[in-house]
Each structure stands twice: as C-alpha cells, then as structure tokens.
Amino acid sequence: MAYPVIAIDGPSASGKGTIAAKVAETLQWAYLDSGALYRLTALYAKEQGVDLQDENAVAELALHLPVMFHCGEILLNGSNVSADIRTEEISLLASQIAALPKVRQALLQRQRDFSRASAVVADGRDMATVVFPEAVLKVFLTATAQIRAERRAKQLGIALNTAQFQQILSDIEKRDEKDKTRPVAPLKQAADAHLVDSSDLTIDETVAKVLDLYRQVKK
C-alpha cells in the first residue's frame, strides 16, 4: 500500500460519511466513499435496464462505471447524480447488488487505486476487513438503530411520531440485517478496529475522537 489509509466502517446512517469526510479534510487526505460506488452501480444498472439478479451483467457494469468524482459532485456518464444515488430505493438496491461476489470483486481494485494516488480516509462496510487490511487506523463507527433513524429523520424534516419515521427505522434495521448476514464481506468489526459509539456524541466530538486515535497510532 503506497499511502496510509484510515478505514472507517459501520452500519448505514451511522454518520461514517460525514465523519470520514471531516477527518479527511482536517488531515488534507483524500476521501473515499465506497458506498457511493455500490449506489452508482445500482443506479447505472437500473438506468441501463439490467436485471439486478444477473451477477455477471451487474459486475460488468461495475467494472466499467463511467464515474467521475469532481469538486464534491458525483458524475455518472457526465450527469450529476449526487442526489439520485441517495434515495431510499437506490439504498436498498445498492445493498442488494453489494451481496453479489463478482460485483464486490469488480469494485475492489477501483477502491484500492485511491490509496495509490494519496493518503485516504475510506468509509464503508469492509474497508478494514477486505479492502485495506493494512490500514494504519481502523475504526468501527456505530450508534443504535433508533438514534441513526432519528438523525436521518431530522435531515429529512420528518417528525418522530409518524409512520414515515417508523418506515425509516425499519429500512435501517432491514439494511443492517442484510449487510451483517450476507455471506460475502459481511459488515463486522475487524479484530484490530477501535469501536466508536457515536450515540451520545456530536459530529465534532466524534471527529475529534477519530483524530485522537490516529495521533495515538502514529506515535
């Protein structure tokens, strides 16, 4: 591995993306949002009318994703799809295609290439266990499903005593279950990862905690 990597894994809506991006910004390292690659693959397959059960066809698309990460925007075939890949529909489809071994294999090198260009903070499900096993720091970031659902609802402006909130909570639980129980690269804490539970922490406190862990391992 040419450059150092900080790997941050955790369940959906645990805030990994926000934390990883802020840690990267502070250290002036690159940021790899690996989930975006799975989301992009799902969106592209849907747009191209490819059957999501067809593992070979989806893997082929993943291998040749015409994606560009540019100034915080994600371009697929030249169109800005930054918002399109974040819908609940694409979240569930991404989780579905992420269970296909050939799709994961197709995206593996693409993810590793990020660390050949510069130091990187990578977030996902298997950054520490599969993609960057030699990461200098491994963090498993979590929070209770209830707290994660509340954070998501707040972002979307949804009240907590509504059916919509219950739907968000149940989608999060469904995705957790899928990510944890799939046979290939299931979501699990690496043996050498530091567990950070952000249930009672603010974003800034969580970022500070990760930076603190990094300072300790760098010594």
DSSP helix, strand, coil percent of the chain (3-state; round to 5): 55, 15, 30
Is residue 185 within a helix (H) or strand (E), and if so which, with residue range? Answer: none
- 6 is a contact residue toward ligand C5P (CB under 6 A): no
Query: Partners of 76 in the beta sheet?
Result: 67, 79
Nearer to ligand C5P, 134 or 216 (CB): 134
- 19 is a contact residue toward ligand C5P (CB under 6 A): no
Q: How far is the CB of 16 from ligand C5P (least distance, A)?
A: 7
Q: Which of 22, 14, 2 is CA-nearest to residue 151?
A: 14
Among 12, 115, 129, 198, binds ligand C5P (CB under 6 A): 12
Answer whether 17's CB lies under 8 Å from 141's CB. no
Nearer to ligand C5P, 39 or 194 (CB): 39
* Contact code string over 112-141 relative to ligand C5P, x by CB under 6 A: ------------xxx---------------
Q: Which of 79, 83, 56 is CA-nearest to residue 68?
A: 79
Q: How far is the CB of 94 from ligand C5P (least distance, A)?
A: 4
Nearer to ligand C5P, 67 or 219 (CB): 67
Q: How far is the CB of 98 from ligand C5P (least distance, A)?
A: 3
Site size for ligand C5P, by CB under 6 A?
14
Tokens of 94: 């991404």
Answer whether 74's CB lies under 8 Å from 85's CB. yes
Q: Which of 21, 40, 37, 49 is CA-nearest to residue 84?
A: 40
- 34 is a contact residue toward ligand C5P (CB under 6 A): yes
- 94 is a contact residue toward ligand C5P (CB under 6 A): yes
- 38 is a contact residue toward ligand C5P (CB under 6 A): yes
Q: Whole-angstrom Cα distance, residue 116 to residue 139? A: 21
Report the Cα–Cα distance between both ends of the chain, in Å, rounded: 20
- 98 is a contact residue toward ligand C5P (CB under 6 A): yes
* Contact code string over 161-190 relative to ligand C5P, x by CB under 6 A: --------------x---x-----------
Q: What is the CA radius of gyration of the chain?
A: 17
Instruction: Give residues in contact with ligand C5P (CB under 6 A).
Output: 12, 34-35, 38-39, 91, 94-95, 98, 124-126, 175, 179
